[in-house]
Amino acid sequence: MNTRRRLVAANWKMNGSLATLGAWANALRGSYDSKAWAGAVEVWLAPAFPLIAPARGALLGLPVRVAAQNCHEADRGAFTGEVSLSMLRDCGAEGVIVGHSERRHIFGESDQRIAKKLSAVLEAGLPTILCVGETEPERDAGQTNRVLETQLRNGLGDTSAAAVQQVVIAYEPVWAIGTGRVATPDQVAEAHSFLRSIAAATMGPELAGRCRLLYGGSVDGKNAPALADLPDVDGFLVGGASLDSGSFRQIIDAAGGAR
C-alpha cells in the first residue's frame, strides 16, 4: 500500500508582491479545512527571496512550509547577487528547490552545480525538491529516459542513504512548463515509473518506494485530478496556477482526494 504523503508546492518564480502575498494567504486561510487538507497533503510556497520572511507571517496558522526557489552552495563569500542557505534559514525558509529547468537552461546550471547545491541543502538540514526533465527536441529524439537518468544520478551524486530521504523528485518536462501544454497521463506515468526505477537502482528499492515524485508542467485545477490518480504521482510542483489561490486550492484538493 502506498503511504507516501502527497506534496503540492507553489513556485511563484519572479512574481508576487507583499500585497498579493497577503491576499493569497487570506484567501487560502478562508478555504482551509484541516480535516480535508492537513492530514493528506503537505503544502509548500516558494516565493521570490524578498517574500520569504513576510510569507512566514502571512501564512501564520496554516500548515504551509515556506521554501526558497534556489540557493548558492557556499555559505558566504564574494558572490554578488547570491543567497546562502544560512541566510535563507534566517529568513524562515524551510525547504529549497534545486535544478529547476529555468535554472538549467536560462542560467546555465550544470548537473554538477546542481549536485553541489543539493548536497549543501541537505547538509543544512533542509528538505529539497530536485527537478529533472527533458526538452522538446530531446523527447522528439527519443532521449527522454537518458536525460532523466543522467540528471537524476548526477543530481543525487553521492548523497547518503540517510540524507536522500529528504529529497523529493519533480518531473518537469521543459516543453510543458508555462506553455499550457500538459504531458498526457500516459507520458507522466511512463516518466515517473522510469524515475522510480532509477531511484531504486541508486538508493535501493526501500528508499525509492518512499521517495515522493511530483509532476510539474502547466498543472491546473482541471488536469490535476487525472494526474493525481496515477500510481507514481505523489503531488505537484505548480507554477502559474499557484498564483491564483482558488486554482491552487483545487490542485491541493485533487492531490488530497486521490488514492
- For the annotated catalytic residues, the residue numbers are 100, 172
Query: Could you tell me where the DSSP H helices lie in the chain?
Result: 18-30, 52-58, 85-91, 101-105, 111-123, 136-140, 144-156, 161-164, 185-203, 205-210, 224-228, 245-257
How far is residue 106's CA from residue 150's CA, in Å, rounded to a whole number?
Answer: 19
The cell numbers describing 137, all together, are 527536441
How far is residue 89's CA from residue 68's CA, in Å, rounded to a whole number?
Answer: 10
The answer to whether residues 88 and 46 touch, using CB atoms and an 8 Å cutoff, is no
Q: C-alpha distances in angstroms, 21 versus 11, 37, 50, 89, 95? A: 13, 20, 11, 20, 18
Residue corresponding to grid cell 524578498: 50
Q: How many CB atoms lie within 10 A of CB 78?
A: 6
Closest CA to 219 of 236, 195, 234: 236
Q: How many CB atoms lie within 10 A of CB 141?
A: 12
Sign of CA dihedral 246, 41, 190, 139: positive
